[in-house]
Structure 1
């Protein structure tokens, strides 16, 4: 996870400018918001409860000096006197219950108060004091409060301005954080998709397409939530908590020390939660990938599933994966329920209870003002809010880290950088020299393959299924590399050539052609700007398909949906054939290219091939031997070895395996068997 965190941080640093600005906005928003309790404290202690401070009688009257006229005399509060200003007799205004009374003398001590029959009784422990007092009416009390109204309104206005400014900063930081997160994930998705283009073919042999898709879509979306929600809450929460703890120390360090145990409790909470959540989330993401893989496979193979009545078995297999996924989701749900924000609320209430006990049972209750206590409780409430936000984001954090692990695992796969340069068109002289190859170690599929194809020659590969025909062409294309021996093109080892430059002058037509969503024309050109419209039409004309496609409503601009399912097998093959020819390859590979084409269409292609093969090295894999009679070289393979090679006439004269295969396809089974037996007898006699 440390490595994953570092990688995520590196991605974030690609867009550090908006992130830094967002954090500055966040700090400003926190500062403005945390100033609220300080303003409230000032309003309570100075301007509301400040009425209980000592008042002094004054001789001179100045309306600007916050003087209060009462009962024919002038009074001024102690904190409004200028330095050196003369003070007269001290009086006090004290609250007892819901009533206020004026005591025309200083008091010895403060404590519990009681106003009865013009007397104010103050009790503190065993001590008791009684003072003559006059109950103040609402109008009289208003007179003593009136000098503070302007200050209260100023502080209220300052608070309102801070709220508005804080809201602006908060909006800015939210917008910038989320915009940066979207750009980070955009970059990550681009990197993942680019990585897929770099991965060797054998990676996809071992990975279901649905699992790869899941990493690009579901996993990157989970990582987006990390930047948008999780980190925003963690950043915000951390700054809030640090700011609030600092404010608490400014208010009263003793109360601040009382709250410090909350931090290690939160840390311990996160550690314990992640220990279990990480394991559950790994299983959940793995099951989700398997479900996506199965859905993808089922959709692509729906024809076979329904044709062989395997719907029930497919449903059962899906239900098993779905049950496992749901089981781990429920385990995760139980963990989240146990460690949810409700537990945080319980801890908060316990701290409030402890605070009441701590303050009430110690000498602090006589030293802490109401304003300080109000501000402290407000800050404590504010501190638990971001902590609850952090706790609520823990499930998303773990899910995102697991998803990030899977994304980076894909990005760390060994790939090949796509070469940007162009290479000169090579002649197409191909030579295999003692080539051995195995998909799995120790299980050779090609053994000591040696042959040479010169420029302009046509080489046909024939043999039973699994004899190694397609493997030879996979090596030539460098979808895989040889284990022993070497393959050269124009005398240069293909392993010394960048794969993209090697394939730049190769064309291939597969037995099962793949068409992309677009049009017929775009599937021929693959949207390569160097392939002009005229070149596309010429390629279609060369394979005899242009008239066929002109009969469609939009001609060669007819839309093609995924995999070209609206076209016939023969039409898809013709598009694939025209695609290879449009790129004018030096080496053309036909892997059972005429297998899906009817006899009439095949005749058109064969006629076109006679022209197209000139100056181009062509490799043909064919089971229909009648299509390769004109090949310059025919290689007969059996279990990964070349058992016969030569032209059609030479191989027929040998009366060997090729002769027998050809006669069987022509329907001369008995004649072929007799000829082979006669040849074997003659060789033994000799």
Structure 2
């Protein structure tokens, strides 16, 4: 199945708000039509109402609001006379130099003109003609202009009204498109964050947290710019350019056809930018992601960096990434400098050269030249044509950044996720666990668990001991279905865990880790995890049951005491007690303790051990332990070595065997005596 392109998937996200976008585009189209009507109105004012005085005039008998009195006669412009109006005579008004002249003869309106000794001479393509003429005074000229004042004022009012209405539609266009953009990016961020919770655990094992954070924050921010600024600008620009070309063709088809040459140039130019921009931006986005990962790692490991005087080395490692980012950002700047405003200016100037050449050639050959109003409107449209082009070109860097960022986001979304079935809850189970010939490898080849079989009955405590890499944590990972085993069967209450959703399996389990993790919030919210089924009273009882009341009572806000990231304001033992209370509040059937007392000092260990007894009561408990003293009362102890069970039994039976467990116990006892001595 062929994968969808990045552009297609971005478009699909846009369709989620198509109603808002469509309304915004309608507002844009209306605004463009209203704004582009301006030059046409200006051309009408110039050609018809201002320069229209230079025309053939007819002598008529009756006066109207469109007639002019001159030398005791009444005249009306040829284009304003009614078809049934009687004509008593004809005359012409021509502009020669800075002055206007009146002649009682009909003279050509095109061609070169001169006035000498009361005679007007016109040399037109049809031939030379001359007639007597009189120069109009300022007052007489004003009289001829008077009938045009009212229509000019009306057209100017219409022009201003159109601009005002266009501004209203522009506001709604901007508001609606940006609103849609924010909704789209909100949806995308929700999708990617939700997907990070469906992606298998091994995805996070192979990648630094900072690089994943960069995709959710930095990359989606670049996509937000795409929807909010880039696409809005491109759509606006293309609509404007389309409208301008339509208006140009209405004015003069030949000139508009010449201007169409900028489109293939613009297209080729975008292709070139896309090729190089994508290549450079891929490096930039990847480097920024690595920089985030490096910063995240350095902040978390700052005590180690300072303790081992690694400041300079860490700075050098960071500078390698920072320098790479600088180099490729500079390449992008060069590319933008070559293909942005400078190139638009060149195209604009070439268009004006072609424009001047066209009119110059027409003037030299004596061909027809467009009117001044059309000339003004065309120059106005030509200027307007390059403004949206400049806007679009200036967004090309952001466009390529967003495309590369989107490809990285979709790459994460394409990672195979696991189904989430939060609604499907199993009834509280008995907690009987069985592994039958289970084999598991993280890389599908090197097995860390080999044909493992054991059973733990409901309410029993089973402990797993062994050297590092023996497979203790892998057993817990399989039981929680963080990973799935390749061979064998794991059952809870006789039901294969693979026949249940991951959420169903985990709904009956609780876990306490060696290094307990607390979230930003309060002590209570870290116990309830904002689960509506766990009330404040249940959470407080859980904290009291594990003995956390002893330190909570000394806090200023007690149960509502703020907890910072990772629980940095609490000691290790205090954090562990809160994590015990969390597990107790969720009331699991199966409890997993992963080195829960490994990092606890001996004074705190007594409190923790009492909390553990409360926590284990009535539950099936699996314990991973290094301190054998903490598992002496376990019902079963499994000694692991390279993924296999070497020994199993209780504490006393394993000591009698004098095997691997016995040797481990002797080593720890001698270590305790030496530390005590």
**Fold conserved between structures, TM > 0.5:** yes
**What are the equivalent positions in structure 2 for 1:451-600 lying under 5 Å apart?**
451-600=454-603
Pairwise mapping of residues 240-389 of structure 1 onto structure 2 (< 5 A)?
Answer: 240-362=240-362, 365-389=367-391
CA distance in 2 between partners of 1:63 and 1:359 (Å): 39
For the 8 Å contact 2:546–2:614, the answer to whether it is kept is no
In the other structure, the counterpart of 2:413 is 411
Output the CA distance in 2 between the equivalents of 1:348 and 1:609: 79
CA distance in 2, matches of 1:265, 1:524: 64
- Provide the secondary structure at the position in 2 that maps to 1:160: helix
Say if 2:94 and 2:109, in contact at 8 Å, map to a contact too.
no
- Offset, 1:95: 1.0
Structure 1 residue 448 corresponds to structure 2 residue 442:
no
Taking the aligned partners of 1:109 and 1:660, their CA distance within structure 2 comes to 118
Alignment correspondent of 2:89:
89
Count of residue pairs the alignment pairs up? 669
Aligned to 1:63: 64
Residue 367 of structure 1: CA displacement? Answer: 4.3
SS across alignment from 2:197: helix
Distance 1:23 1:125 in 2: 49
Whole-Å separation in 2 of the counterparts to 1:276 and 1:612: 61
Cα deviation code 1:102-154 (max 9, x no counterpart): 12211256322233443333334896544332211111110000001101011
Q: What is the rounded CA distance, in whole Å, between the counterparts of 2:499 and 2:4 in structure 1? A: 38
How far apart are 1:435 and its partner, in Å? 1.3
Return the alpha-carbon distance in structure 1 between the equivalents of residues 527 and 270 of structure 2: 56
| Offset, 1:667 | 1.0
1:360 is displaced (CA, Å) by 2.2
Distance 1:312 1:444 in 2: 40
Instruction: Say which of 49, 54, 58 aligns to 1:47.
Output: 49
> Gaps spanning 5+ residues in structure 1: where?
672-686
DSSP 3-state at the match of 1:366? coil
Asked if 1 retains the 8 angstrom alpha-carbon contact of 2:580 and 2:615, the reply is no
Distance 1:227 1:608 in 2: 53
Q: In structure 2, what is the equivalent of residue 674 of structure 1?
A: none
Number of the residue aligned with 1:682: none
Aligned to 2:25: 23
Q: Is the 8 A contact 1:19 1:180 kept in 2?
A: yes
Checking the alignment, whether the CA contact within 8 Å between 1:434 and 1:485 is kept in structure 2 is yes
- The superposition leaves residues 451-491 of structure 1 with CA deviations (integer Å, 9 ceiling, x where unpaired) of 11110111111111121111111111111111211211111
Residue 57 of structure 1 and its aligned partner are, at CA, apart by 1.9
Give, in angstroms, the shift of residue 629 of structure 1: 0.4
| Aligned counterparts of 1:522 and 1:617: Cα–Cα separation in 2 | 26
3-state SS in 2 of match to 1:440: coil
Taking structure 1 as reference, are residues 279 and 125 closer, same or farther at Cα in structure 2, changes over 3 Å only?
Answer: same
Q: Please state whether the residue corresponding to 2:600 is helix, strand or coil.
A: coil
Q: Distance in 2 between matches of 1:120 and 1:484?
A: 109
**Matches of residues 110-121 of structure 1 in structure 2 within 5 Å?**
110-121=110-121
CA distance in 2, matches of 1:539, 1:2: 51
TM-score with structure 1 setting the length: 0.95
**Superposition TM-score, scaled by structure 2 size:** 0.96
What corresponds to 1:621 in structure 2?
Answer: 624
Q: Deviations over 1:498-538 (max 9, x none)?
A: 11111111111100111000111111111111112221122
- Give a deviation string over 1:423-469, Cα, whole Å, max 9, x none: 10111111111111111232221112111111011111111112111
SS in structure 2 of the partner of residue 142 of structure 1: helix
Change (3 A) 1:109 1:163: closer
8 Å CA contact 1:359, 1:365 repeated in 2: no
2:37 maps to which residue? 35
C-alpha RMSD of matched pairs (Å): 1.8
Deviation readout 1:542-599 (Å, 9 max, x if unpaired):
2112122111111121111000111111111111111111111111011111122232
Q: Is 2:230 the counterpart of 1:230?
A: yes
Give the corresponding residue for 2:177: 177
Deviation at 1:417, TM superposition (A): 2.5
Contact 1:573-1:596 within 8 A present in 2 as well: no
SS state at 1:435 partner = strand
- Residues 1:194 and 2:194 are matched in the alignment: yes
For residue 660 of structure 1, what is the aligned residue in structure 2? 663
Alpha carbons of 1:149 and 1:668: their partners in 2 closer, same or farther (altered >3 Å)?
Answer: closer
Matches within 5 A, 1:100-249: 100-108=100-108, 110-124=110-124, 128-249=128-249
Per-residue CA deviation, residues 12-63 of structure 1 (Å, 9 max, x unaligned), is 11111110000111110111011111111111111111101101222x2323
**SS of aligned partner of 1:573:** helix
1:364 & 1:319 partners in 2: Cα distance? 69
1:679 alignment counterpart: none
* CA deviation vs aligned residue, 1:349-368 (integer Å, no higher than 9, x gap): 11111111122213685242
